[in-house]
Structure 1
């Protein structure tokens, strides 16, 4: 699953996540492993892998909470994929 993070300023903070190549709007500054899987459309038991800007992969633990950092993503960005 791929996730990039882009912050849109306005009345409510909206983050744009890239999950397996698809942009998904998210309205909270944190997200759990299970929420990422649900937004990606797969069973959380399949796992979630975070891929950082340096293309390093890390498998997330069940129940892990990730802080989404605001900012525009150009080129390399953090993303998540099915594990």
Structure 2
């Protein structure tokens, strides 16, 4: 069973990150409903030319296009985090 961590809870003023993204094992707060491949690479600290692979909750992998925008769906932030890793 997953427990809520401090990063998952909204701040006392009701504002906090809308989503927690998992980028190569690091949890990153994210406020927007979408994220681009370039933003994922930047947050992960690597060059976009290395590629970005999306890993879903079932461990299925998909390579994102360099100019792709991913829609983050509500409800996926708790217990099911979006996960990306560097391409090959």
Q: Please indicate the TM-score interval, normalised by the length of the shorter structure.
A: 0.7 to 0.9
Residue 47 (structure 1) aligned with residue 51 (structure 2): yes
CA RMSD in angstroms, aligned pairs only: 2.2
Structure showing the higher strand proportion among its residues: 1
User: TM-score scaled by structure 2?
Assistant: 0.74
SS of corresponding position for 2:66? coil
Contiguous gaps of at least 5 residues in structure 1: 1-6
What is the total number of aligned residue pairs between the two structures?
77
User: TM-score scaled by structure 1?
Assistant: 0.78
Q: Post-superposition, which runs of at least 4 consecutive aligned residues in structure 1 deviate over 4 A?
A: none
Structure 1 or 2, whichever has the larger Rg, is 2
